[in-house]
Amino acid sequence: MGSNGETICSDISGAAFRRLLRTGGPVEIAELAGDLARPVEEVAAAVEDMVRQGRVRLDGDGRLAGAAGLSIGPDRHRIEIDGRTFWTWCAYDVMGIFGALRAGGHGYSTSPSSGAAIEVHFEHGRPLLSPVVLFRPDESSLGCCDNVYEEWCPNSNFFENAEVARAWSDGRGMAGRVLGLDEAAEAATRNWEPLARGLRVS
């Protein structure tokens, strides 16, 4: 995809993310086109490409229900943010969304190693002290990625501690980094800040 294609995809991700967060409901293609001041046909074609790449998710009526890792319906990880419930595609999304919004709340997940419930608590966008870690896979280890949602996101998870995370990734021959929550939050916040432009929830 050329630079113009990447630009419109980035613009769509940000606009859809902001609408999903503001409204808590699905986003019509025409609404996105209006937000971006672009022709509906151009936005629709770009969204179609992004669906194939796993960069946005649609509902049964062809409306955007997920973008930039944020979902309005049940998905892999649940977040309670400013008293509202959303879901995310991967653990890294959780860190980025809370960080960019400077939000307080809670993230809920499950360790893929043990099935244990994991909770991460946030104040002003920062995670509270916890032994929980995040595993962030290297794209090269996955041959990534024709579809980000299907191939990369399922492997970015929270674990009870670093030892469990390393055992899980080593057992799968999966290269990546085990990050403490503070380190993960700093990196992810930088990624999400452009998408969350102008939004604050606390």
Q: What is the pLDDT of residues 111-166, one digit of tens each?
A: 999 999 999 999 999 999 999 999 999 976 555 568 999 999 999 999 999 999 99
Provide mean pLDDT across the span 83-94: 97
Strands (E), the chain: 56-58, 64-67, 70-71, 77-81, 84-88, 105-110, 117-123, 126-127, 133-137, 157-159, 176-180
Quickly state the pLDDT bin for 1 (edges 50, 70, 90).
very low
CB 55, CB 9: distance < 8 Å: yes
Domain extent at residue 141: 77-192
- From 47, 66, 85, the end of a domain falls on 66
pLDDT at 22 over 80: yes
Q: Are residues 176 and 96 in the same domain?
A: yes
Q: Are residues 58 and 109 in the same domain?
A: no
What CA–CA distance (Å, rounded) separates 6 from 144?
A: 17
What per-residue confidence (pLDDT) applies to 11? 95
Q: Are residues 185 and 91 in the same domain?
A: yes
Q: What is the mean pLDDT of the chain?
A: 93
pLDDT at 176 over 80: yes
Q: Are residues 59 and 82 in the same domain?
A: no
Quickly state the pLDDT bin for 2 (edges 50, 70, 90).
very low
**Domain at 126, CATH number:** 3.30.450.410
pLDDT at 31 over 50: yes
Provide mean pLDDT across the span 51-67: 97
When divided into structural domains, the chain yields a total of: 2
Where is average pLDDT lowest: 8-17, 111-120, 162-171, 190-199?
190-199
pTM of the model: 0.93
Provide mean pLDDT across the span 164-183: 96
Quickly state the pLDDT bin for 198 (edges 50, 70, 90).
confident
Q: Are residues 132 and 59 in the same domain?
A: no
pLDDT at 29 over 50: yes
